[in-house]
């Protein structure tokens, strides 16, 4: 049920919900009166954004807890006891990007591997990103380094101005500690670059008019020789305009480097080519729906997303790489098959071990697999890490046959573990607890969706709280991205310690494992694809209704949250069931599915959602596209939109237009558009901390204070 507002809350809600003059004065443009808000840096659009930002910040920063929340979130995010995750093990050294209060953009640094494994690394700074940006007058954001094996003397450094997906690439010499004068340099673009050898790059980039796909990614890959201009690079592979991208990929197997070209036909279909002995590109036997996961011991490892003959979906298979390169590969060998509840999620290779991270009823498990060269038989060894935990494979020591794994749970602080060829895994580093976990309890429950499918979710509450209390659900539901529970200081994704703040208040936090992800393998994703998208929205509603049915919360007192693709989810949810939800958080969201394929990188996601320009596709998309389903005369749940102006993946027009349309119905809207940061929103921890405090104030106002 909806609760009565206090006089103070009512007045503030009216103030923030009022449609501002800039919107009221906007002339209609065709069927879309808010099309002008798609002008990303347009004077009028930015003026509107600044007005909304100001209204929201004035309101929520007045919350008595705002400053304390912001300071605490910043302290957690900047804590120097954070895990030093290995970027790459390069021979006897390991690299890491370190961000803290003094270095918000990061220090790229290295340590000797021996001291790192002992938990007492000796760090040496390679590049100070903050200092580099200051010296060059750029707002540099680190996008990674690719260092050439086996000596790792030269690296390709990727830096983004302000955090957009586009970046510049510059060659760096680790032996001199300087960028290479006259070395390889690429101007700002959404480039894909790989080392062929020390004097040759394979480059997919913006070569000028006609060189990009309709999705805005490289369509052409060329071979670029040192000492020659990029304009002299020679063609390797060319795609067509309707492709998603064409990109190079180079994989190392022992001392051998293999060159691949990956032509993405759609988001989920790829033609994979390998460069043969004579330099000719040969189409590999990898099905266009499958994922190439790595090389080991002369074997090419592939994950099947659809059946291959009698080999089931979700299986790992292999082909001899030499046969593939010679164009004479036969039938694949089965490496590992899934079970009803156990599926492959991540794969890493070292020189002699295939490391497989599985999900077992949404909890992480690790296998070490080896192949007998004489018999070709694969065997596996289970490597216990932690019970009901989130596990991610974060790095490898190839020569040492070690894999690094991050391990955490909602109540278990993150740790970095290392597993080797023999024996149990051991802890390299574990963070101290950031809160007293003994006062909370986490359960895994299952809701029943509309079609009878059991949907798992994790529920965190204070011990002794039986409800009903305000609840907050985070979900995603797309792109094969499984949602697994992380430490409450990082729940939900990109919202800092919001989950922790919420349960400390005595409320319920929920992470929902709805269809569209990969929690139960490829079929879990396919059940929410295109015309089946409604299943994801039904799954979210089922979780919310299960909270009501079991007495955890009550109808109308449940908040929902989603980012990016999750913006489609919560947008559709609020327009379909405005009675069920009491608050909505949409981060960097997709909302206008009629125009999404014409905005930023939207064309690359047609395989996920459908093509709105195809009448048969729009027939099912229009039923759930959030922007098109906002109706006059309907009071929608209060919504908070957060995003970045510089997001070049999901166009900011989605959030802007949805906010405007909701405001026009008289519904309450909060808005926070950060001017830097790209799709990840925050370019540094300062913005992340502000966002966490704003979101906590929003949820408290809309789901807690309205009960008083």
How confident is the model over 220-236, as pLDDT tens digits? 999 999 999 999 999 99
Q: Please, which residues bridge with residue 359 across strands?
A: 343, 364
Length of the chain: 708
pLDDT above 90: residue 24:
no
How confident is the model over 497-539, as pLDDT tens digits? 999 999 999 999 999 999 999 999 999 999 999 999 999 999 9
pLDDT above 50: residue 405:
yes
Look at residues 576, 555, 573, 543 and name the one whose alpha carbon lies nearest to residue 473. Answer: 543
**pLDDT score, position 707:** 67
Provide the residue ranges of all domains of the chain, joining segments of one domain with +.
Answer: 7-75+441-707
Tokens of 73: 């979130």
Residue 407's pLDDT band, with cuts at 50, 70 and 90, is: very high
Look at residues 296, 289, 364, 367 and name the one whose alpha carbon lies nearest to residue 333. Answer: 296
Tokens of 253: 């197997």
Residue entry with tokens 């459908």? 610
**pLDDT score, position 632:** 95
* Contact status, residue 188 vs residue 162, Cβ threshold 8 Å: no
SS3 566: helix
Tokens of 466: 């039986």
Phi, psi dihedral angles at 322 (to 5 degrees)? -65, -40
**pLDDT score, position 682:** 54
Torsion of CA 175, 177, 180, 181, to 10 degrees: -120
| Vertex 344 angle, CA 342 and 346, to 5° | 140
User: How many angstroms separate the CA atoms of 568 and 478, rounded?
Assistant: 10
* Contact status, residue 248 vs residue 192, Cβ threshold 8 Å: yes
**pLDDT score, position 675:** 80
User: How many angstroms separate the CA atoms of 262 and 623, rounded?
Assistant: 35
Count other C-beta atoms under 10 Å from residue 125's C-beta. 13
Domain 7-75+441-707 bears CATH identifier 3.40.50.1820? yes
pLDDT above 80: residue 237:
yes
Average pLDDT over residues 99-103: 90
Contacts of 258 (CB under 8 A, 6+ apart): 250, 251, 252, 274, 275, 295, 321, 325
The DSSP code sequence of 456-504 is: EEEEEEETT--S---EEEE----TT-------GGG-STTSTTHHHHHHH
How confident is the model over 50-64, as pLDDT tens digits? 999 999 999 999 999
Strands (E), 386-448: 390-397, 402-408, 415-419, 426-430, 440-448
**pLDDT score, position 8:** 28
Contacts of 127 (CB under 8 A, 6+ apart): 107, 108, 157, 172
Mean pLDDT of the chain: 93
Residue entry with tokens 């009221």? 24
**pLDDT score, position 98:** 95
Active site (annotated) includes residue 672: no
Contacts of 28 (CB under 8 A, 6+ apart): none
Look at residues 266, 291, 288 and name the one whose alpha carbon lies nearest to residue 603. Answer: 266
Among 82-86, 108-112, 470-474, where is mean pLDDT lowest? 82-86
Contacts of 669 (CB under 8 A, 6+ apart): 16, 17, 52, 638, 639, 640, 641, 659, 662, 663
User: How many angstroms separate the CA atoms of 149 and 214, rounded?
Assistant: 34
pLDDT above 70: residue 1:
no
The b-or-e profile of 85-105 (16+ CB within 10 A means b, else e) is: bbbbbbeebbbbbbbeeebbb
Which is more confidently placed, 163 or 425? 425
Task: Tell me the chain's radius of gyration from C-alpha atoms.
Answer: 25
The DSSP code sequence of 246-264 is: EEEEEEEETTEEEEEEEEE
Active site (annotated) includes residue 3: no
How confident is the model over 166-197, as pLDDT tens digits? 999 999 999 999 999 999 999 999 999 999 99
Average pLDDT over residues 479-492: 95
* Contact status, residue 101 vs residue 87, Cβ threshold 8 Å: no
Residue 16's pLDDT band, with cuts at 50, 70 and 90, is: very low
pLDDT above 70: residue 31:
yes
**pLDDT score, position 353:** 98
User: How many angstroms separate the CA atoms of 295 and 292, rounded?
Assistant: 9
Of the residues 564, 597, 625, 667, only one is catalytic, namely 564
* Contact status, residue 126 vs residue 108, Cβ threshold 8 Å: yes
SS3 344: strand
Contacts of 129 (CB under 8 A, 6+ apart): 103, 105, 106, 107, 108, 140, 141, 142, 159
Average pLDDT over residues 664-674: 97
Burial of 352 (0-12, 13-18, 19+ CB in 10 A): middle
How confident is the model over 244-297, as pLDDT tens digits? 999 999 999 988 999 999 999 999 999 999 999 888 999 999 999 999 999 999
User: How many angstroms separate the CA atoms of 261 and 275, rounded?
Assistant: 8
Of the residues 654, 679, 685, 696, only one is catalytic, namely 679
CA count, 13 A, side-chain hemisphere, 696:
32
Tokens of 637: 């749940």
Residue 683's pLDDT band, with cuts at 50, 70 and 90, is: low
pLDDT above 90: residue 4:
no
pTM of the full structure = 0.86
**pLDDT score, position 680:** 63
Pairing of strands 471-474, 583-587: unpaired
pLDDT above 50: residue 2:
no
């Amino acid at each position: 049920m909806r609760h009565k507002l206090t006089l103070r809350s009512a007045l503030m809600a009216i103030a923030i919900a009022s449609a501002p003059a800039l919107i009221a004065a906007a002339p209609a443009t065709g069927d879309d009166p808010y099309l002008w808000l798609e002008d990303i840096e347009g004077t009028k659009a930015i003026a509107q954004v600044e007005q909304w930002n100001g209204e929201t910040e004035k309101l929520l920063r007045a919350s008595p807890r705002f400053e304390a929340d912001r300071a605490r979130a910043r302290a957690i995010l900047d804590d120097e006891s954070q895990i030093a995750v290995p970027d790459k093990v390069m021979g006897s050294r390991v690299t890491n990007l370190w961000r803290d209060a003094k270095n918000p953009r990061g220090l790229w640094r290295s340590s000797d591997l021996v001291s790192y494994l002992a938990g007492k690394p000796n760090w040496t700074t390679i590049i100070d990103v903050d200092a580099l940006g200051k010296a060059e007058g750029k707002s540099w954001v680190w996008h990674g380094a690719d260092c050439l094996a086996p000596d790792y003397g030269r690296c390709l450094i990727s830096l983004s101005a302000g955090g957009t997906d586009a970046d510049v690439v510059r060659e760096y010499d680790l032996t001199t500690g300087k960028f290479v004068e006259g070395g390889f340099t690429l101007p700002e673009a959404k480039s894909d670059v790989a080392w062929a050898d020390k004097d040759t790059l394979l480059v997919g980039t913006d070569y000028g008019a006609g060189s990009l796909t309709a999705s805005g990614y490289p369509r052409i890959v060329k071979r670029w020789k040192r000492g020659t201009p990029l304009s002299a690079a020679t063609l390797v592979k060319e795609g067509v305009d309707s492709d998603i991208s064409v990109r190079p990929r180079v994989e190392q197997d022992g001392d051998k480097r293999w060159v691949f070209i990956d032509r993405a036909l759609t988001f989920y279909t790829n033609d994979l080519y390998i460069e043969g002995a004579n330099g000719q590109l040969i189409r590999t036997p990898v099905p266009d729906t499958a994922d190439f996961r790595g090389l080991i011991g002369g074997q090419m490892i592939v994950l099947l997303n659809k059946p291959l003959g009698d080999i089931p979906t979700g299986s790992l298979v292999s082909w001899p790489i030499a046969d593939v390169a010679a164009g004479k590969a036969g039938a694949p060998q089965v490496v590992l098959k899934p079970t009803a509840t156990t599926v492959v999620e991540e794969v890493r290779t070292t020189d002699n071990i295939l490391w497989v991270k599985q999900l077992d009823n949404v909890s992480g498990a690790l296998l070490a697999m080896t192949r007998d060269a004489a018999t070709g038989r694969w065997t596996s060894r289970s490597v216990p890490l932690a019970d009901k935990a989130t596990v991610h494979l974060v790095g490898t020591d190839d020569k040492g046959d070690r894999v690094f794994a991050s391990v955490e749970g909602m109540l278990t602080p993150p740790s970095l573990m290392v597993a080797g060829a023999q024996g149990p895994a051991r802890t390299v580093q574990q963070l101290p607890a950031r809160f007293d976990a003994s006062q909370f309890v986490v359960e895994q429950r299952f809701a029943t969706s509309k079609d009878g499918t059991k949907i798992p979710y994790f529920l965190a509450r204070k011990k002794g709280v039986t409800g009903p209390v305000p609840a907050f659900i985070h979900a995603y539901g797309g792109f094969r991205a499984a949602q697994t529970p992380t430490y409450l200081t990082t729940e939900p994704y990109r919202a800092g310690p919001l989950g922790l703040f919420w349960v400390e208040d005595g409320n319920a936090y929920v992470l929902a494992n709805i269809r569209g992800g990969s929690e139960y393998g490829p079929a879990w994703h396919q059940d929410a694809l295109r015309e089946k998208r409604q299943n994801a929205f039904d799954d979210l509603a089922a979780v919310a209704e299960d909270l009501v049915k079991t007495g955890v919360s009550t109808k109308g007192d449940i908040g929902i949250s989603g980012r990016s693709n999750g913006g489609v989810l919560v947008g559709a949810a609020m327009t379909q069931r405005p009675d069920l939800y009491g608050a909505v958080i949409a981060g960097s969201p997709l909302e206008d599915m009629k125009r999404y394929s014409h905005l930023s990188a939207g064309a690359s996601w047609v395989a996920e959602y459908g093509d709105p320009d195809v009448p048969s596709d729009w027939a099912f998309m229009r039923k759930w596209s959030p922007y098109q389903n906002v109706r006059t005369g309907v009071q929608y749940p209060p919504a908070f939109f957060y995003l970045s102006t510089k997001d070049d993946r999901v166009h900011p027009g989605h959030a802007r237009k949805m906010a405007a349309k909701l405001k026009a119905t008289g519904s309450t809207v909060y808005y926070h558009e950060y001017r830097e940061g790209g799709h990840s929103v925050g370019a540094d921890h300062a913005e992340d901390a502000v966002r966490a405090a704003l979101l906590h104030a929003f949820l408290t106002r809309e789901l807690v204070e309205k009960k008083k």
